[in-house]
Amino acid sequence: MTSNPATATPTIPYDSEPSDGDARQLVQGAQTGLLVVQDDVIRFANPAFADMVGWPMAELLGQPHYVTTAPEQRAMAQSSVDRVLGGRSTRPGQMRCLRRDGSSFDARAVTRRVEYGGRPAVLVTVSDTSELSRALRGAEWNAGMLARTEMLCRSGSFEILMPSARLHVSPGLRALAGMPEPAEGDATECDLDELACIPPDERALVAGIWRNAVPGEPFEFQHRLQVADGGRLIVLHRGVLNEATDAAGEQRGVAILQDITAQREAELRLEEVANHNEVTGLPNRGSFLDQVDAATHAARWSAGAFTLVAIDIPRIAEIKASMGFGAGDALTMSLAARLAGACGSGETVAQLGDTEFVVMLEHAEAPDVEVIRVRALELQATMDAPVRLAATDIYPRCVFGIACFPSDGESAAELLERAQTARLGATGADEGSSVAFFRPESNARVVRAMHLESGLRQAIARNELRLVYQPQVALATGKICGAEALLRWNSPELGAVSPVEFIPIAERSGLIGAIGEWVMRRACEQSAAWRRAGLPPVRVGVNLSPAQLQRPDLARQVQAVLVETGADPACLGIELTESMAMADVPHAAAVLREIKSIGVEISLDDFGTGHSSLSCLRSLPIDVVKVDRSFVHDVTAAPQDVSVTRAIITMAHGLQMQVLVEGVETEGQLALLAANRCDTIQGFWFSPPVPPEAFEAMLREGKHLPDRFVTRVRRTHTLLLVDDEENIIASLKRLLRRDGYHIVTATSAAEGLQRLAENDVDVIVSDQRMPGMSGVEFLRRAKDLYPDTVRIVLSGYTELQSILDAINEGAIYRFLTKPWDDQLLRAHIAEAFRQKDMADENRRLAQQVEDANADLAALNARLEQAVTRQREQAQTMAISAGSMREVLDELPAAVLGIDPDGMVAFVNREAERVLPDAGRLIGRLAREALPPSVCALIDGPGGTRGEVTIAGSEFRVIARALDGSKGANGHLVLLVPHDVDEAVLS
C-alpha cells in the first residue's frame, strides 16, 4: 500500500501504548475473534468471537475452552493450550471450530501465552477461513479436472509470462511430453527458449510467435513435440496473451497444446489415397495431371519443354485374367518399382490405370526427337526384362506412346490423351518398334481401334465370328490331310475386319482368351461333324494365343472341349509361334507335353523367324514345324536360297519332326519342296482358306495334287530335251518316243528351268550353244536345283575347256556330239536312265541305312540289357545247378533246405523217398510241416545233432546253418537212417 501524504491527518499523536479505554475498544471492535483461556475455561472473549461461534457472550464465558472446537480436534486443542502454558511456542494452525448450533467452520488459530489477571493464560486469536478453504478446495478440484481433461484430450498447457518468457507447465503437458514429475522443491518454472519438449529447431519459431503475439488475440499454429522416449508428436498450439499487465509489468499468457498426430496421419493417408494408386503408391491420374498442369505453366514462363511417355502393359490384364488378381498386382508392383527406379531427377512417374503408366520428362530447352527416343528405348529395355512370378518368367512387352509439349498439345489433359493415342498406334506400326510418337493421324486409327474393340466384345455373342479352313496336303499321298482353321470377323457395322487388324486389339484388350477358346471349340465341333458325316479324317489346326499358352490348365481346357464336342484328339492340332514357345520354354514344354499325350498334334508356326535355339527346340514336344513363307523360293531363285530351304527340311527331319511349308503359291515352289522331301504343304497354289462347306466339298471329291508332285508314286521316266532348234527337238522326240519315255521339251535354258519345276525330270539332254544361257550354265543351275537329275550335253561345237570343267565338277554326266548316231544316242540315254534309277535306289537305301542307324542306339541299349539279363540268368543257373541242386539231389541222405524265413525251400530226392509226405513240405513253413524235434535243432541254441523218429523210422538229424556271401541263407537239415555207417557222416 502506498501512503498518500495529502490525506494524512497530522493531529493524531503516535502513542506507543494505547490507553486502557482505547485498548478495550480495540479488542471489542476487532473483527478477529479473541479469547483468553485460563484454567481450561474461556475467561474472556470478544464480540467478534462470540458472533463467530454463535454463543451469547454471557453464556460463553466460563465454558470449557474446547466447547468451540470440533469434537475430533478437542484433544489437539487441549494439548496445544497445555504446550503454550508450558512455555513452548506453537505455530499458527488450521482448526475446525464448532458453533453452538452444531455447525462447524474452518478457522485459523494463533495461541500466545499472556498474563491475565496476573496469572498465566492463553490468548487465542481466531479468524474465520471457511471462505478461503472453499476457494482452495475449488482450485484443487479445478486443477484435478484440468489434469484429467488434458490427459483425455491428449493435450497439455502452460502459463507464460511475457516478455520474460518464464512459463509454468501443466501436468498434462508433462505427461504428453513424458517429462518427469518435478521433485519437491524443484523450480516448476522454466524458460520458453529452453523448453525441452519442443525440438530445438522449432523453439525459436514457438518463442518468436509468443513474443510477437498481439495481446487479446488468440492464435494457433502446429509444431512438433519431442517426447522423452524419443518419439515425436505433432501438436496444435493455441495461445492467447492477456491484455492486462501485472505489477511487474508482465503479461500473462496461456497455451494449450493438443496432440493431433493421429488426425495428421489420417489426413496424409487420405491425401495419399486420393492422389496415388493404391497398389503401387505412384501418383494417380488426377495428381499427375496437376503436376503436368504446373509444368505447362512453368514451361511457358521459362520457355522450357517436357515430354509425356505413356506406357501400356497389356500383359498385366492377361496375367490378372489367367493367374488371378494377386499375380496381376505383384506384376504391377514390380514393374512400378522398376519404372520408378529407372527414372531420375526431372522425370516424374505416375500410374494412370491398371495397366498404364506415364512418365513426364522435363527438359531445360526443347530437345531433339532422337534424344527422347533414345531415352524411351532405354526405359523400354528396362521394363521389358522378364519378371519372375512364382515359377514363371513373365515378359511384360510394354508399348510406349510419346507426346511433347508444346508441339503436341497445350493443356495437360490434351497432352496426356495424345501420348496415350500415340501408344495405341505403336503396336500396329512398323514391326519391332513399340515406341511411337504422336502423329495427328494416329487419332483416326485410335478411333477405329476403339470401335473395333467395342465391336469385338460382342462379336462372339452376336455370332459374327467364323472359321475358314485352308487345306494342308501331304506330299507323300497328294491328298488333303488337314486344315488350318483361320478366324474371320464380319461385323455388321465395320464390315469384314482383317485378323491382322483385330487380333492385336483382342490381345491388348484381353479378349483373346475368350476368342481363342471359341476358335478351339468351333474347330472341334466342325471336326466332329465331318467325322460323323463319314468324311476322311483330317486334322484341324488352331492357333494358340500367348495368353492361352500361359494358362497352367491349358491341357485340361483342351480335354474339356474335346469331351464336350466329341471330337477326336487325332483330328485336332494346335499351332503356336516360335516366340511364344521361347518365352518360357520349361512351362511351354510341360503344357505341350500334356496336350501331346492326349493325342493332339503340336505345330511350331512361323519357324525360322524367331530366335529359337536348336537345344530349346529339342526340349519341346513339337510334331510339325511350319516353315515360314519367306523361306520358300522359286526355281528362279539363287541356289543358296534353295539350300536354306533344304537345310531346314533336313534339320527338322533330323529332330524327328515333320515339315509343313506354308505360303506355297507357285508350281515351282511346290516342285522344289517335293524334290526336297517336304512332308506337307499349305498355300494358295492348292487352295486359299475356304468356308467349311467348300472344304467339305474338296474332301468329298477327293481333291488332290497332280501325280507328278506326289513323292511316293513311282513315276514314268521323264526326259527333258532342250535345244533352240525346233527341228532337232522334233527329230529327237521321234527317235526316242519308242523307248517309252515321258518327253518334255524346251527351246531355251529359261524354259528348261520352267519345265524342270513342272515335271519330275530324270534325264536332261541339252544343247550347248543357246541364246541367253549356254547349255553348261543351264545344267550347272539344274544341278544346284535338282542334284538327282542326270545331265547330258549334246553339242555340235566343242568348247572343250568349259565342257571339261563342267564334267569335272559333276554338272555334266556325259558329253555327246552332233550329229548323233541314233542307236548310240538311244543306248546312252537308256544308260542315263539306268544310272538315275540306280542313284534313286541308292538314295532310298541310304535313307534306309540312315533310319537303321537311328535305331542302332536303341538296339544297342536293348542288346546291352539283354546281355545283362543273360549274364544274371547264367549266374543264377550256375549257382543253382553247380553248387547245390544236383549234388544234393544225388546225396544218399535226405536233405531239407530251410530258408531264413523258416520256409522249406528245398527237398532232395532221397528225402522225398524216405520221408512220408515229403511232397507236401516244399513251400510250407518248417515249424508247421516238420516234427518239433527237428525244428528245435534249427531254432534252438542246443546242439545241432539229434535223433528223431519219423513214421516209425529212426533218423539221425544234423542241422547246419548256411552262411552265404551275403549273410545267412538258412539251414540245411540232414536226415540219415540209423543203419547207415557213422563213417559216412564224419
Closer to another protein by CB, 333 or 570: give it: 570
Among 10, 102, 952, 964, binds another protein (CB under 8 A): 964
CB 590, min distance to another protein, A? 7
Quick check: 862 binds another protein (CB under 8 A)? yes
From the list 578, 560, 580, the residue with the least C-alpha distance to 569 is: 560
Supply φ then ψ for residue 282, to 5 degrees.
-75, 155
Q: Which stretch binds another protein (CB under 8 A): 99-107, 171-179, 559-567, 574-582?
A: 559-567
Supply φ then ψ for residue 611, to 5 degrees.
-125, 35
Closer to another protein by CB, 775 or 897: give it: 897
Residues forming beta bridges with residue 487, ordered by sequence position: 467
Q: Cβ(946)–Cβ(937) under 8 Å?
A: yes
Supply φ then ψ for residue 978, to 5 degrees.
-60, -30
Lookup: cell for 377: 528405348
CB 895, min distance to another protein, A? 12
Residues forming beta bridges with residue 845, ordered by sequence position: none
From the list 360, 396, 399, 362, the residue with the least C-alpha distance to 377 is: 399
Closer to another protein by CB, 260 or 476: give it: 476
> What is the DSSP secondary structure assignment for residue 69, as one 8-state letter?
B
Quick check: 563 binds another protein (CB under 8 A)? yes
Quick check: 200 binds another protein (CB under 8 A)? no
Strands 347-351 and 742-746 turn out to be unpaired
- Name the 3-class secondary structure at 128: strand
Among 559, 609, 619, 944, binds another protein (CB under 8 A): 559
Closer to another protein by CB, 418 or 971: give it: 971
Among 6, 8, 247, 858, binds another protein (CB under 8 A): 858
Where in 589-608 is the site for another protein (CB under 8 A)?
590, 593-594, 596-599
At which residue does the C-alpha cell 527351246 appear?
A: 747
- Separation of alpha carbons 427 and 33, rounded Å: 107
Amino acid at 344: G
Site size toward another protein, by CB under 8 A: 63
Closer to another protein by CB, 364 or 859: give it: 859
Quick check: 872 binds another protein (CB under 8 A)? yes
Among 912, 939, 958, 977, binds another protein (CB under 8 A): 912
Closer to another protein by CB, 555 or 756: give it: 555
At which residue does the C-alpha cell 474452518 appear?
A: 106
Among 159, 252, 969, 977, binds another protein (CB under 8 A): 969
At which residue does the C-alpha cell 475467561 appear?
A: 43
Among 447, 614, 854, 968, binds another protein (CB under 8 A): 968
Quick check: 656 binds another protein (CB under 8 A)? no
At which residue does the C-alpha cell 477326336 appear?
A: 568
Quick check: 618 binds another protein (CB under 8 A)? no
- Separation of alpha carbons 157 and 166, rounded Å: 14
Kindly tell me the burial class for residue 439, based on how many C-beta atoms sit within 10 Å of its own C-beta (0-12, 13-18, 19 or more): middle
The CA-based angle 816-819-824, given to 5 degrees, is 55
Q: Which stretch binds another protein (CB under 8 A): 216-224, 334-342, 414-422, 554-562?
A: 554-562
Closer to another protein by CB, 366 or 598: give it: 598
Q: Which stretch binds another protein (CB under 8 A): 405-413, 550-558, 664-672, 693-701?
A: 550-558
Lookup: cell for 218: 488468440
- Name the 3-class secondary structure at 463: coil
Quick check: 555 binds another protein (CB under 8 A)? yes
Where in 913-942 is the site for another protein (CB under 8 A)?
918-925
Q: Which stretch binds another protein (CB under 8 A): 125-133, 343-351, 454-462, 861-869?
A: 861-869
CB 535, min distance to another protein, A? 13
Q: Which stretch binds another protein (CB under 8 A): 204-212, 561-569, 777-785, 938-946?
A: 561-569
Cis (ω within 30 of 0) for the bond into 10?
no
Closer to another protein by CB, 467 or 558: give it: 558
Quick check: 909 binds another protein (CB under 8 A)? yes
Quick check: 960 binds another protein (CB under 8 A)? no
Where in 30-89 is the site for another protein (CB under 8 A)?
none
What angle do helix axes 285-302 and 412-426 make, rounded to 10 degrees? 110
- Separation of alpha carbons 769 and 797, rounded Å: 8
Closer to another protein by CB, 425 or 569: give it: 569
Query: x/- binding map, residues 516-535, to another protein, per CB under 8 A?
Result: ---------------xx---
Handedness of CA 364, 367, 370, 376 (dihedral sign): positive
Quick check: 562 binds another protein (CB under 8 A)? yes
Amino acid at 552: P
Quick check: 564 binds another protein (CB under 8 A)? yes
Among 41, 570, 694, 891, binds another protein (CB under 8 A): 570
> What is the DSSP secondary structure assignment for residue 6, as one 8-state letter?
G
Closer to another protein by CB, 388 or 966: give it: 966
- Separation of alpha carbons 674 and 681, rounded Å: 9
Q: Cβ(126)–Cβ(52) under 8 Å?
A: yes
Q: Cβ(552)–Cβ(592) under 8 Å?
A: no
Q: Enumerate binding residues for another protein (CB under 8 A).
A: 531-532, 555-556, 558-560, 562-564, 566, 568-570, 590, 593-594, 596-599, 858, 861-862, 865, 869, 872-873, 875-877, 879-881, 883-885, 889, 897-901, 903, 905-907, 909, 912, 918-925, 962, 964, 966, 968-970
